[in-house]
Amino acid sequence: MTTIPFFPPDLFEGDRKVMLDLIREIGTAPEQKFILGEHTRAFERMLREATGAADVVACGSGTSALGLVLRAMEIGPGDEVVVPAFGCAPLASAVLEVGAQPVFADVDRHAMVLDPEDAAARITHRTKAILPAHMFSIMADMPRFAELAAERGLRLLEDSAVAQGAVLRDTPAGLWGEAGVYSFVQVKSFGMPGEGGAVVTRDAELGRRVRVLRNHGQNGQRFVHEVVGTNSRFDEIQAAFQTYRFAGFAERLERRARIAERYTDRLAGLPGVLPPPPGREGRCYYVYCLQAERRDELRDFLAARGIGSHVYYPKPLPQQSAFEPHAPADDEWPNAQHAADRILALPIYPHLSDGEVEFIADAVREHCEVADVH
């Protein structure tokens, strides 16, 4: 039977020799430097030049990048941060970890990213920041959030963890806010075989503070601690590997966008499924998420044909037991619930063949046509 996994085990197969050589080279180098060395500096410099940021600070994960920015912005107890009600856990947990309160706002029904009007309605005198996230394949409405932050005197932090490489009105994802973040977990647009992230910012002073915080509060001088920091450092082998792989990033993104376009062409107008809004502006096809009326049946139907799919995310954040105590019990996020009940991600990694893309689209079409008859 055909098998098209959602998480392909051969994602880095083409670069295996490079990785093995780097392990030996860095592992046996006389300086024995495995974190925050010359490779991390080169990687940061490369991303800074590619984005036009004032600073890029590589760190332990996308989650810790969010936490470092919140701390560098001095957001803490008594402060509120408006976050999307539908998305990944760190949107809420990073805010709670600094002692601030996440305030959940609903998402747009189709795009499934933070709805600016609902976010605006939830701003109070305690609100310090807005934290929109680019989710699935679509950037949040950053021009509107930038306006809103300016009008209301709020800080704007951009969760661009999954959107590296996306551009909206000529501004790269990550640079709309005072700071953005990237995640390099393998499934992300610029994923790698391991854990890592980065803070990207237009504000050099904010970057400096993040740099100090990520390495135990040290400001370049070992064992001199300027502030209470944490360990969120970047791996030298991964930095060298990512620097090498950056040359193919634009091409891989383009392949993802073409696969997305093909899915949308084949699936638009079908009964019972809604493809994401089409287009290239502000898009980064980290995943390709449909909304399907009979989502679980579709997932099983695809699985029976050997096609892996994935539910990002089965519940809105305020309905998760971790975050329920931090959300008003009588509140509702109808679009977040609508999305959680319907969302299904199809495989979209760059080395999917055209034949595999057609096979997946055929299977979705077949399910919708059969389901429509019954």
Ligand X SMILES: Cc1ncc(COP(=O)(O)O)c(C=O)c1O
Interface residues with ligand X (CB under 6 A) are 61-63, 87-88, 90, 133, 135, 159, 161-162, 183, 185, 197
CB of 306 to ligand X, least distance (A): 26
* H-state helical runs in 189-248: 204-214, 236-245
CB of 183 to ligand X, least distance (A): 3
Residue with the CB atom nearest ligand X in the bound state: 62
What single-letter amino acid sits at 351? H
Within 10 angstroms of residue 86's Cβ, the number of other Cβ atoms is 32
164 or 267: whose CB is closer to ligand X?
A: 164
CB of 270 to ligand X, least distance (A): 27
CB of 66 to ligand X, least distance (A): 6
CB of 108 to ligand X, least distance (A): 15
Instruction: Decide: residue 374, CB within 10 A, 0-12 exposed, 13-18 middle, 19+ buried.
Output: exposed
3-state secondary structure of 232: coil
108 or 159: whose CB is closer to ligand X?
A: 159
Asked whether the beta carbons of 75 and 96 are under 8 A apart, the reply is no
Phi and psi at residue 69, to the nearest 5°: -65, -45
What single-letter amino acid sits at 158? E
93 or 243: whose CB is closer to ligand X?
A: 93
CB of 91 to ligand X, least distance (A): 6
Q: Which residue has the tokens 């392990």?
A: 23
55 or 159: whose CB is closer to ligand X?
A: 159
36 or 59: whose CB is closer to ligand X?
A: 59
62 or 116: whose CB is closer to ligand X?
A: 62
Tokens found for residue 371? 């389901």
Residues 6+ apart with CB under 8 A from 253: 165, 189, 284, 285
Element housing 144 (H / E): helix 142-152
CB of 240 to ligand X, least distance (A): 19
215 or 232: whose CB is closer to ligand X?
A: 232
- CA-angle at 313, arms to 312 and 317, nearest 5°: 145
Asked whether the beta carbons of 52 and 172 are under 8 A apart, the reply is yes
